[in-house]
Amino acid sequence: MRIRIFETPSEGGLYVATLMEQTVLRLDEPVLGLATGSTVLPCYASFVQISMYGLDMSQTSTLNLDEYVGLDSEHPHSYRYFMEENLFRRLPIRPKESYIPSGTADNLDEECRRYEDIISKNPIDLQILGIGVNGHIGFNEPNQSLLSTTHVVDLTEDTINNNEKFFRDTDNMPKRAITMGVQAILRSKQIVLMAFGESKKRAVVNSIEGTIRTEVPASILQLHNDVIWVLDKESASLLDLQMIKGVNV
């Protein structure tokens, strides 16, 4: 595990954007695992700028972590829409494929199986993650199996409250999502988790210093051999960096 602490989310985001660029440049058929939410925005803004210098995404595939159940791709709050607006349509050369689970599939169980199959055929080289205030990764909420595959999840109160910032009409905010499971996240060759701000400090310290447990899904990342935590001073403020042995800060 490595931990990098930056002054601002923009600096952290730029660092992660360069990791994405290196992955795209290094591999013949790169696969990027992508997240949505406010944390990743500075990273995507930097990646768009970097790509303006001629980064060729035509051999790159992307796989997103999750999608709200009930929102189609045209819905301004769907994660497909988020990705188009904040990344894909801004790139001079779009990715070869950009996979996101469908939140409007007639049969959600079948959609989960279809997505799991896509993940198996496209092993993720670099997985970008944010973290929920409750320690979730993707929408793998606390107290669920840490061995999950793609599944439909009931969002917790914490997650709904955190994500309300994106919804004007909070009554109609979806309460369920399809999420990639923890198993697929752990199979990614490299994982970069970004967390910025006060509100994430407990999730960060519990995940890095606590025991591995279902109450804090991101704690399972302790078992992965190539994880970089990209933090700012606020999100890192509870960490006892002297105590974390073997961590390259």
- Residue number of the CB closest to ligand F6R reads 130
If you ran DSSP here, which 8-state letter would residue 43 be given? H
Distance CA 31, CA 84 (A): 17
Tell me: does residue 201 bind ligand F6R (CB under 6 A). Answer: no
Tell me: does residue 137 bind ligand F6R (CB under 6 A). Answer: yes
Catalytic amino acids?
66, 134, 136, 141
Tell me: does residue 181 bind ligand F6R (CB under 6 A). Answer: no
In terms of CB distance, is 59 or 161 closer to ligand F6R? Answer: 161
If you ran DSSP here, which 8-state letter would residue 32 be given? E
> Residue 13 burial (CB < 10 Å; 0-12/13-18/19+)?
buried
Instruction: Single out the segment in contact with ligand F6R by CB under 6 A; choices: 32-40, 49-57, 112-120, 225-233.
Output: 32-40
Tell me: does residue 220 bind ligand F6R (CB under 6 A). Answer: no
In terms of CB distance, is 86 or 104 closer to ligand F6R? Answer: 86
* Out of 1, 14, 31, 35, the residue judged to bind ligand F6R by CB under 6 A: 35
Distance CA 85, CA 109 (A): 28
User: How many CA atoms lie within 13 Å of 167's alpha carbon, on the beta-carbon side?
Assistant: 19
Tell me: does residue 39 bind ligand F6R (CB under 6 A). Answer: yes
Number of residues that bind ligand F6R (CB under 6 A): 15
Distance CA 37, CA 197 (A): 14
DSSP secondary structure string for all residues of 189-224:
SEEEEEE-SGGGHHHHHHHHHS--BTTBGGGGGGG-
In terms of CB distance, is 36 or 59 closer to ligand F6R? Answer: 36
Task: Give min distance, CB of 36 to ligand F6R, in A.
Answer: 4
Residues that bind ligand F6R (CB under 6 A): 35-39, 65-66, 130-132, 136-139, 162
